[in-house]
Amino acid sequence: MMSLADRWRAIAATLANKGFTEQQGASPEFRGSINVHGRAVDIELVIPDSKFVELPIVRLVDRKQLPAGAFGHISRDDIEGSVVCFAPATGLPLDFHDPGGSVLRVLRQTELSLEKSFAGQGGAEVAAEYQEYWIEKEPNFRVLVSRDGTTERQSGLQYAVFKPATGSPFFAIADTISLHDHEATRLSGAVIFHLDAELGPTADRVVPNNFLSLEQWFRAQTTVVADRWRECERALLSGKFVCLAANNCTLGVRIELPANIAMAVRTKKLRSSKLQPLLAKQKTKLDIKRSGGYWTGLAEIAQRNLHGIKTLDGKAIALVGCGTLGSHLAKFLIQSGAGAGAPLTLIDGQVLSAGNIGRHYLGHSRIGERKASALAEELRSFHPQCDIRATVGDALAQKAVLADSDLLVDATGDWNTQYALNELFYEDDISAEAILHCWISGNGAAVQAFLNVRGDDCCFRCLRPSMDAGPRFPALKPGVEANMAPATCGDGNYIPYSVAAPAIAAGLACDMAIGWANDKPGARLRTIVLDHERGIERKPTSPSAHKTCPSCLSRDES
């Protein structure tokens, strides 16, 4: 293996061979030139790490060596010159066993990045990363409302700074400043313009710097954007924070009032009816503040990961069992859109014991609390928009809660409860579209999940019609049993297994719930084997009803 000294010698020798000279600096720094479409462009190459865990920095020495106009892959910084973004979004693999070859790859990648702009793709390249050009020292803001654009301008939007009980304050646009466990200070009203277009640089400016240049920049965009200027102008001059939600970026802009006008507004010496026409006459004197926005609404977080398919947004889900499996599954459901637009109801009557926390989602601080209510509180801290409700008690006694759900999820792993919920699913006043059972077999040897969609022939009891026989689709090899750990003082018997088993079972169940939400439920019974010595590999299947199933026979008779 090359030593640290050998790596630096190889880097220095390679760059010297390319005509680079080493400069003085905290990190090794080299100055030389690269060739961009036949034109020499001087750069500084800073290499902070010879193993390339931290990528080299490429800085232009003289921006004027490049053509005028929009140029992609260049970010402004507070050091003289400009930094070239040479690494693609997927990263740039560099081999520290070949340090010389790696720095040559960095130089070539830099040339390729700049050549795209020389080839007339500068505007497109800047547009692709336009938000980075737009952002200045204003703090980024979060958008906690829907991105679907069905309402062009939602009423009652607020721009505020939110301070959570734990964590750092943040700026956000929300339809309410009453978020769970957050203090809020309203700064202004807000408006979101959903623009079915891309925003980017214009012929004479990359970004606007005052109100007049903002108008010129805005009017130079596509027609679909330019036609909205009057609305945007009215919103800005009335003191609102404006969010421009385009296909390629989310931009925030507000005006900075001149000191004398700001004072007059604060002391109420200037009426709001007079403010807008006064400001309209001072466009060249009005500074603007630019910031970048990020969509962090609960529904948007789920949609980002489930791109192109439906999330669990708007589905009322009742999760029975908040133990090891259920606690992880609740988190996965929330991250998949549950609790947005419809409640996720957690049902469990047990208390979290000290022995639970080794594999439960909840930790030490929650020992002694009711699992359902403690888990609901914990998940609300994940996102302030979560509609999570807790019901402490026997699930079978919570028929009213279950009756209003679109999906019932059984994570109890207890046969008697599983069977009873199966029976309850078929009662007339339960309108749920489906019931999903998930469980762990053996000492985490395998996990299984079964989805019963309303109208299916096979019910949960069909999987084991006779208690004198084993299940029809066992996940354990013959003779393999679950080993119980003996009870100790203050703790009961339990089945030991690693936290991997409930996490995988939760992932399996969550995936099946998403399939159901997209009307593509697929195979109804699925198995994942973790221990191949004890578990049985099974292909996903949709079992047929069993002719001796007592549950089905009872329903047929009635």
**CB burial readout 208-243, b (16+ within 10 A) else e:** bebbebbbebbebbeeebeebbeebbebbbebbbbb
- pLDDT bucket at 202, cuts 50 / 70 / 90: confident
Tell me the three state secondary structure of residue 337. coil
Residue-wise pLDDT tens digits, 22-59? 998 778 999 999 998 888 999 999 999 999 999 999 99
What's the topology of domain 4-128? Ubiquitin Conjugating Enzyme (3.10.110)
Residue 154 pLDDT greater than 80, yes or no: no
Tell me the three state secondary structure of residue 335. helix
Chain region(s) in the chain for CATH 3.10.110:
4-128
What's the topology of domain 307-557? Rossmann fold (3.40.50)
Rounded to an integer, what distance in angstroms lies between the CA atom of residue 289 and that of residue 303? 30
C-beta of residue 436 within 8 angstroms of C-beta of residue 451: yes
Give the pLDDT confidence score for residue 70 in this predicted structure.
47
Give the pLDDT confidence score for residue 151 in this predicted structure.
46
pTM (whole model) above 0.95: no
- pLDDT bucket at 153, cuts 50 / 70 / 90: very low
Token match 């005052």: residue? 210
Residue 405 pLDDT greater than 90, yes or no: yes
Residue 247 pLDDT greater than 70, yes or no: yes
Chain region(s) in the chain for CATH 3.40.50.720:
307-557
- pLDDT bucket at 141, cuts 50 / 70 / 90: very high
Average predicted confidence (pLDDT) for the chain: 87
| DSSP 8-state secondary structure symbol assigned to residue 397 | G
- Between the alpha carbon of residue 392 and those of residues 63, 94, 350, the distances in Å are 65, 54, 8
Residue-wise pLDDT tens digits, 351-395? 999 989 999 999 999 999 999 999 999 999 889 889 999 999 988
- pLDDT bucket at 124, cuts 50 / 70 / 90: low
- pLDDT bucket at 152, cuts 50 / 70 / 90: very low
